[in-house]
Amino acid sequence: SGQKVCYGDFKRPCYKLAYFQDLSRRVGFQEARQACEIDGGALLSLESEAEQQLIENMLQNLTKSGSGISDGDFWIGLWRSDDGLASSSTCPDLYQWADGSISPFRNWYTDEPSCGSEACVVMYHQPTANPGLGGPYLYQWNDDRCNMKH
């Protein structure tokens, strides 16, 4: 359940967005990953600027539809599975796509990834937040703790 919208476009037959306004329904990275796999898919791998723009447009359309979507980041399929000993200079190179994609495309927010204990990646969706150094917190990527609920 939750707001799920399926679009067929780009190189994939279907994109499914799931958004839960009820904070108690949001899940951590591994739970989101498992839910996608049970559904026959995978957390999103973004392979180009064009695909990033497509997803941004989907989220904008979802917001305009009057569904009441407010702040709430979205998990994407990028994560880091190192032992936590990575230096800050090598850390960005350790992120990989959960579906095995080798796309080098990245859309990090300014000063991200911050690494440390944050190893799973969200696409920002915080329309009511005051802009930071990188502008509004909309659609760029941020590494977050994997147990956070999105």
The dihedral of CA 29, 120, 57, 24: what is its sign?
A: positive
DSSP string for 26-42: ---HHHHHHHHHHTT--
| pTM of structure | 0.87
In this prediction, residue 1 carries a pLDDT of 45
Q: Which helix (H) or strand (E) holds 53?
A: helix 49-64
C-alpha distance from residue 111 to each of 8, 9, 72 (Å):
33, 31, 20
Residue 50 DSSP class? H
**Residues 21, 34, 38, 48, CA torsion sign:** positive
pLDDT of residue 23: 84
For residue 64, the model assigns a pLDDT of: 66
What gap in Å lies between CA 127 and CA 138, rounded to an integer? 7
Q: What is the pLDDT of residue 135?
A: 93
- Whether 20 contacts 71, CB under 8 Å: no
| pLDDT block averages, 10 residues each, the chain of length 150 | 55 76 89 91 92 89 66 93 64 91 94 92 93 94 96
CATH number of 2-144: 3.10.100.10
Cα–Cα dist 113/95, whole Å: 10
Q: Which residues contact 42 (CB under 8 A, 6 or more apart)?
A: 33, 36, 77, 98, 99
- Which pLDDT score is estimated for 2? 47
- Residue 45 contacts residue 103 (beta carbons within 8 Å): yes
